[in-house]
Amino acid sequence: MNRRIRVTTLAAALVAFSSACSTVDNKSNGSFTEADSGKTFTTSPGTTLDIHLKGNYTTGYSWNIAPCDKSIIQPAGSKYTPSQPQRAGSGGVQHYTFNIIGKGQTTLKITYNRVWEKAVPPAQTFELQIVSK
């Protein structure tokens, strides 16, 4: 009996831990990085999301937004900031801003690839499930 209670308690703890690791509900600042990939963000219309993804455009790779439900989320701007502008070949951060404009659910997917390499999978993929209530 005591072993069954421990197993049940452990299973409940694992479910709680995996839920905490996969969701960022009510994240107050709406700012995300590669570490947030695969998570779910619950929000509402009128919210702004900022995505910050490290990259190095001198390698030919770039971050590219995949199609998503434009009735829920709209791109609002982007810029690339080199980490060391004076050093040729240094990496930087791609900043994206999105506006949540409607209710529903969609996946925001951004891939890091060389656009001319059609048969090659992306080097990285950032995905964020958006649930707008």
Domain ranges of the chain: 24-132
What rounded mean pLDDT belongs to the chain?
83
User: What pLDDT is attached to residue 9?
Assistant: 37
pLDDT tens digit sequence for 44-97: 999 999 999 999 999 999 999 999 999 999 999 999 999 887 787 789 999 999
Phi, psi of 18 (to 5 degrees): -65, -35
Size of the chain, expressed as the number of residues it contains:
133
Does the pLDDT of residue 128 top 70, yes or no?
yes
Q: Which long-range contacts (CB under 8 A, 24 or more apart) does 23-32 make?
A: 32/128
User: What pLDDT is attached to residue 29?
Assistant: 59
User: What pLDDT is attached to residue 69?
Assistant: 96
Strand pairing class (124-132; 39-43): parallel
User: What pLDDT is attached to residue 2?
Assistant: 47
- Amino acid found at 45: P
User: How distant is the alpha carbon of residue 61 from its chain centre?
Assistant: 18
> In CATH, what is the architecture of 24-132?
Sandwich (2.60)
Does the pLDDT of residue 34 top 90, yes or no?
yes
Residue 23 sits at the vertex; the CA angle it makes with 21 and 29, to the nearest 5 degrees, is 110
Residues contacting residue 97 through CB under 8 Å, at least 6 positions apart: 48, 49, 50, 51, 75, 76, 77, 78
